[in-house]
Chain A
Amino acid sequence: MSEWIVYGLQQLLNALQLGSIYALIALGYTMVYGILTMINFAHGDVFMIGAFFCFLAAVYLGLPFAPALLLTVVGTALLGVAIERLAYKPLRNAPRVSAIITALGIGIFLENFTLALAPYPKHIPALLDSTNWDLGGVSLSSLQLIIICLSLGLMFLLDYIVHRTPVGMAMRAISWDKTFVPLMGVPVDLVISVTFAIGAGLAGAAGTMYGLAYPVIDPYMGIMVGWKAFISAVVGGIGNIRGAMIGAFILGGVEIMVAAALPSTYRDFVAFALLLVLLIVRPYGILGSPRIQKV
């Protein structure tokens, strides 16, 4: 009996680690969707670029963990703003699908650009000395603890920014109404840029942590992780920040459970089947509210 509890706790810990990485990426999807009602398909690749920035900072600049993380976050935030300014802003008044296609194009560009510069998978060196603690059979590494705590810290910071600061208020206002809020003096372009910077920065942080937890990185790693994070955002109710966090931890938990119980090749199958069932039963997600369509 106690063996089962220990095993369960161990898997819970793994689920928390995976879920917190998904959550950081999902936040970027959900924030951009909330403010522009646009699916930013390039977001998963910004996460991948984050992992490569971390690799560059660690190998070529020889930086330790904290400065490398900071550099990665700043770098990806700038990348996010650049993508928004160059590729999405000119299309804000165009048909909505044009922006989606542009986002897909930017995603493919980032993947293949990285592939052209780094044809082989890279190995991120261990930036942190990992020590393992044994808590009554459950092994906890310092790396896991740092990933989970740092992610949770960033999530609470984001929640604070969105709900307690003027910038956050402007974000919520723009996602509420796009016609009148600009008339009341809210600098829409600036707020959208800030949203992209925060979202991309969080994805960069996620890339760093993913690179530390699973050290082999390649240019296509962002596709699947990005889609999974997107599923989390939808499961939680897209556009809803707390929903994205909950969705990410649910998805992380489900994936770890499947990997523990079935052959690991069924992971994607179960994740997407879950999405399919949820979309049919509760299309607006766990915390989302149904949109009322006026005729």
Chain B
Amino acid sequence: MKNSAYIETREWLAAQRWLLPVLILTGFGLAFAIPEYGLLNKYVQLVIMYVGINIILATSLNLVNGYMGEFSLAHAGFMAVGAYTSALLTMKVLPVADYPGLFPLAVLAGGLVAAVFGLIVAVPSFKTRGDYLALITLAFLMIVKSLIENIDAIGGPRGIPGIRKLTTLPWVFFWVVMSIWVIRNFVYSKYGRGVLSVREDEIASDLMSVNTRRVKFLAFMLSSFFAGIAGGLFAHVLQFISPRVFDIIKSTDILIMVYLGGIASLGGSILGATVYTVLLELLRPSNFAALVSWLPDALFEPLNQYFIQHLGVWRMVIMPLALVLVMIFWPRGIMGLREFRWFIPKRDLDAHQHHTEHESRHDASHRQ
């Protein structure tokens, strides 16, 4: 199956680390070119933006759920805080109509406010762990939603309609790169080691003088910051937000992306978010019909009549079933604890290689 040619190509590709910045620059170029020259139709552009926003959400949730090993259900709540902050800023405070350049400021503000809200979850996490912390995050989500519903000045249960469509492809791409870059640097820093040690054994890491409080504090704030950013971008794509948009189902969606992709893996979160979002879109009846239109009529017609026309309802039945099957046969997700080697800093890769060589020599000496 995995022949040597495949492994060689993979190894060669993994060594070409200069490709990553080239790809990022190409991505930026494309992000500017696609809307400018209409290279893809509006619908595909929209899907790409949702994929980008979901990547930000999945990577930032992975920091808490994957690397730190907690189970947070609050991500949609932080997203709501960011979305409402930035939407209110662009609608009521900032003169965005005259100066569109102020939009990133609104998104940034949304992220910062969400990070402050992250404290509400971070502080109880000093003492509480596991299932009970999961409940605190759930309570946070419900309280945020319920508060928004009860404040009439920000629309109450009706939400905020008529938000300007300010999110553009380059901005989404910029924030995707930023979130991956920042979280990647955090994870491989001193604090990142601390985050991993908290996951493996909190008491032991405390004893080894890891400042677990500061580590949790930083991880939660960073995670909620990017959730807020994603919320701000999301509000200005969807152009309408209401408390119902950010309920437990939204949190569940993000959780599914993270665990589908695999915990403690940025590459996994990127893949998980992309696969989940794109699959859900492909299962829409019109898209699916376009996808299989090459089939001969004798096959296509019955398929269309008995299957595709009903997909609008049944795709939400098929997706969770597929998820359950993936989890049963692939419990660690697509990337589970592995990582794109381009994301791993060179020193870590070298150290790892050295370590495995050492190990194998050790084993060999044992066998003699």
Contact = CB atoms under 8 A, between A and B. Distances in A.
Nearest to A95: B331
Interface string B33-73: 00000000000000000000000000000000100000100
B147 interface: yes
Given A95-B331, A105-B256, A119-B313, A279 B139 contact: yes
Interface stretch (A13-21, A64-72, A136-144, A265-273): A265-273
B301 interface: no
A209 interface: no
B111 to A, nearest CB: 24
Of listed A119, A238, A276, residue having the most chain B CB within 10 A: A276
A268 B256 CA distance: 25
A115 B320 CA distance: 14
Interface residues of A, number: 43
Interface stretch (B14-22, B217-225, B286-294, B321-329): B321-329
Interface string A29-65: 0000100000100000000000000000000000000
A112 B127 CA distance: 37
A265 B317 contact: no
B245 interface: no
Nearest to B124: A280
A272 B327 contact: no
B146 to A, nearest CB: 4
A227 B248 CA distance: 10
Interface in A275-295: 275-276, 279-280, 283, 293, 295
A266 B331 contact: no
Interface in B307-341: 313-314, 316-317, 319-321, 323-324, 327-328, 331-332
A293 B203 contact: yes
Given A106-B324, A276-B143, A283 B132 contact: yes
Contact of A105 (B138, B150, B327): B327
Given A91-B331, A104-B256, A295-B203, A109 B324 contact: yes
Nearest to B248: A223
B133 to A, nearest CB: 9
B248 A101 contact: no
A94 interface: yes
Contacts of B324: 87, 102, 105-106, 109
A90 interface: yes
If over half of A's interface residues share one DSSP class (helix, strand or loop), that class is named, otherwise mixed; here it is: helix
Contacts of B132: 234, 279, 283
Interface string A106-134: 11110011011001000000000000000
A98 interface: yes
If over half of B's interface residues share one DSSP class (helix, strand or loop), that class is named, otherwise mixed; here it is: helix
A10 B256 CA distance: 44
Nearest to A269: B146
Contacts of A98: 259, 327, 331-332
A293 B248 CA distance: 31
Given A91-B328, A234-B135, A268-B142, A108 B320 contact: yes
B314 to A, nearest CB: 6
A276 B139 contact: yes
A266 B328 CA distance: 40
B317 A113 contact: yes
B332 A276 contact: no
Nearest to A262: B150
A272 B143 contact: yes
A100 interface: yes
B26 interface: no
B136 interface: yes
Contact of A39 (B131, B140, B263): B131
Contacts of A87: 324, 328
Contacts of B147: 269
A108 B252 contact: yes
A97 interface: yes
B281 interface: no
B81 interface: no
Nearest to B143: A272
Of listed B135, B249, B263, residue having the most chain A CB within 10 A: B135
A234 B138 CA distance: 13
Contact of A283 (B128, B203, B204, B255): B128
B313 A279 contact: no
B215 to A, nearest CB: 19
B291 to A, nearest CB: 21
B110 to A, nearest CB: 23
B328 A104 contact: no
Contacts of A95: 263, 331-332
Contacts of B328: 87, 90-91, 102
B316 A269 contact: no
A118 to B, nearest CB: 11
Interface in B104-148: 124, 127-128, 131-132, 134-136, 138-140, 142-143, 145-147
Contacts of A105: 256, 320-321, 323-324, 327
Contacts of B259: 97-98, 101
A228 to B, nearest CB: 10
A263 B320 CA distance: 36
B248 A276 contact: no
Interface of A: 33, 39, 87, 90-91, 94-95, 97-98, 100-102, 104-109, 112-113, 115-116, 119, 223, 227, 231, 234, 238, 263, 265-266, 268-269, 271-273, 275-276, 279-280, 283, 293, 295
Closest 10 CB pairs of A and B: A94-B331, A269-B146, A109-B320, A112-B316, A98-B331, A108-B320, A272-B142, A105-B323, A105-B320, A272-B139
8 contacts: A94-B331, A101-B323, A105-B323, A109-B320, A112-B313, A266-B146, A269-B146, A269-B147
Given A39-B134, A238-B131, A269-B150, 16 more contacts: A91-B327, A94-B327, A101-B259, A105-B324, A106-B320, A108-B249, A227-B138, A263-B150, A265-B157, A269-B142, A275-B135, A276-B140, A280-B136, A283-B128, A293-B203, A295-B203
